[in-house]
Amino acid sequence: MLFRFICCQRFSVKMAKLPQKKYYRQRAHANPIADHCFDYPVNPSSMDWSELYPVSALHEKRVENLDIGCGYGGLLITLAKTYPDMLSLGMEIRVKVSDFVRDRIKAMREEYPNTYDNIACIRSNAMKYLPNFFHKGQLKKLFFLFPDPHFKKQKHKWRIISEPLLAEYAFILAVGGIAYFATDVEELFEWMNDHFKSHPLFEALGEKEIENDLIYNQLFDCTEEGKKVTRAGGKKFLAAYKRIPDPYEVASISQPMEH
């Protein structure tokens, strides 16, 4: 009995390190157009990533996976284990939620050494500052999981998928890189799907590509929002689009120079 009590006590002490969401609650909706106070680099080259990824062996690596609107960090935890050799970053606009993710990562690093050193979170506005953080063609994977639907028509301009923003996503995503999006709102899914489908630099992943994709099928339930929809018995919609070469760039490169 004494042995059992000691084991339980140790387990409870270990788990107490993890942050509790009840202390980080914040309203789900945030106005991305409003003037928030953010720190951001002048350009990607001036960004110091060493504070976010403190292990010196990672300092030569660049962030390759980006979760926009990372929420409470469920996807980041999955990315850490699925892509251990890649740096993944979560970007969240809500201050308390981003604080939770940072504290969660810190606790996970302490509890599981050498497992979660490749993930980090920053508070920023992806609709305004992505080019300040990432070079052209830097990212391999881009995620938009259960974004705010902004149901009212006058607020559709706040949606994270739009024609102007897709141009920025295409800029920072490498050719062959993949953008994933998921939602439980069918109207929003059609909106996002139509925008990606009509953009000349994106092409839907084929069935074989989806089958061979390590992360695709994990996206339904790796986030807190996705798990909530599952518990409620709701539907979830998921799609992925690949960044394809710009035909104008290819043409200009292959065209011989005039003398």
Can 117 be counted among the known catalytic residues? no
Strand 87-92, strand 119-123: pairing = parallel
Q: Which of 67, 103, 148, 184 is catalytic?
A: 148
- Quote the tokens at residue 30: 């945030």
End-to-end Cα separation, the chain, in angstroms:
89
Dump strand ranges (E) for the chain: 63-68, 87-92, 119-123, 139-145, 173-183, 202-204, 237-243
Q: Which long-range contacts (CB under 8 A, 24 or more apart) does 47-52 make?
A: 47/132, 47/133, 49/87, 49/120, 52/89, 52/120, 52/122
What separation in angstroms does the CA of 230 have from each of 134, 223, 227, 237? 34, 11, 5, 12
Task: Decide: helix, strand or coil at residue 243.
Answer: strand
Report how far residue 42's alpha carbon sits from residue 257's, in angstroms, rounded to the nearest whole number: 34
Which of 46, 259, 26, 254 lies closest to 148 in space, CA to CA? 26
**What amino acid positions are annotated as catalytic residues?**
148
